[in-house]
Amino acid sequence: MSRCAAKRTVLRSLVAVWLAAISAHSQESAPPAQSIRVSVERVDVGVIVTDSRGKFIEGLHREDFHVFDDGVEQPITDFAPVDEPAQVFLLVEAGPSVYFLQAGHVNAAHAMLEGLSAGDRVAVGKYDAAPQLLLDFTANKPAAEAALEKVRYYVGFGTLNLSRSLSTVLDWLGKSQSKKTIVLLSTGFDTSTPGEISNVLSRLQIADVRILAISLGAELRSAPANPKNKKQSQSAQTTITQEGFADADRLLSAFTQATGGRVYFPNNAKAFSAAYAEIAELVRHEYSLAFAPSARDGKPHTIEVRISRSTSTSNMPADTSTFRVDNRRAYLTPRD
């Protein structure tokens, strides 16, 4: 087995384990790869509820929500519908996917910027071997568009350290109390080490940050060779195997699921526009819940939020089975 194949096998196993753990809401969560200690006296949970068409469900009440800590329902201590300015960090992969697609789908992100509220603040960064901040947080949306247009891309998958870059961005976001969303435009290919991937998954699982990802690889998988760059296109097609794309998709899914976010796999201009429009709505709207930690054992605990119709809610259908509920999946309890 080649070194690259061995690494793919390790990464695939690592992501599979995390996805299984997230889906099962394991009550025996393993501690993070690097010990992260946070004093938590209340647990804040941002919740997005949408219908089958992706439209945000408004008008829900406290009584409609049920929050579970490691499978045990907890009283909701605070509740509020939140429609307040958000912080959106646009992180763009500066790799060959965008190079071959002529950056058209990334520049189409202006649809998302136009959909944000005037008070929402946007920052723009790119990554390859490491992240680079191109524009700090600003409410100036034209400045964000200009920063996107100036991103320079390169050919080659040798150094796309996605996990390492996400970890750095989490450090940049710090302890801001605003709603924090990372909008990730990426193929999902990652040359970070397995340890770095494990570490950022652990951080994301307990972080109060949501990741909304758009895969840039869908069209590249079946894109015909560019007549002007035929040699380069054929080289990229050879390098990017279908197996590699499957691994990349799993990694993007793991990142977003850990944070209660979403991943989109658009394959044409219309699908990209729809994804950006939905993201613009999701970053502005959510329900904010809070509950008291159920223990003080210093361990990760799973979080699950369920919706059921209360008698006081008249504008919500009795059948909520088609509703999609997204929220952070875990938190780290305080230790005495």
For the segment 141-167, what is each residue's pLDDT rounded down to a tens digit?
999 988 888 887 775 556 889 999 999
Alpha-carbon gap, residue 257 to 330, rounded angstroms: 11
Alpha-carbon gap, residue 276 to 160, rounded angstroms: 23
Instruction: Provide the 10 A C-beta neighbour count for residue 134.
Output: 17
Q: Please compute the mean of the pLDDT values over residues 251-266 and round it to a whole number.
A: 92
Most confident range (mean pLDDT) of 21-25, 55-59, 123-127, 264-268 is 123-127
Check residue 16 and give its pLDDT: 53
Look at 216 and 227; give whichever has higher pLDDT: 216
Average pLDDT, the chain: 78
Which long-range CB contacts under 8 A does 235-244 form with residues at least 24 apart?
235/155, 236/96, 236/100, 236/155, 239/157, 240/157, 240/189, 243/8, 244/8, 244/189
pLDDT band for position 180 (cuts 50, 70, 90): confident
pLDDT for 57-97, tens place per residue?
A: 888 889 999 999 999 999 999 998 876 778 899 999 987 66
Check residue 328 and give its pLDDT: 86
Look at 129 and 85; give whichever has higher pLDDT: 129
Check residue 111 and give its pLDDT: 77
Check residue 25 and give its pLDDT: 39
Instruction: Provide the 10 A C-beta neighbour count for residue 114.
Output: 12
Percent of the chain with pLDDT over 70: 72
The end-to-end CA distance of the chain, in Å, is: 48
At the topology level, CATH places domain 86-282 in Rossmann fold (3.40.50)
Check residue 22 and give its pLDDT: 41
DSSP class of residue 229? G
Check residue 32 and give its pLDDT: 42
Alpha-carbon gap, residue 63 to 222, rounded angstroms: 48
| Phi, psi of 176, deg, nearest 5 | -55, 140
Q: How many residues does the chain have?
A: 336
pTM of the model: 0.76
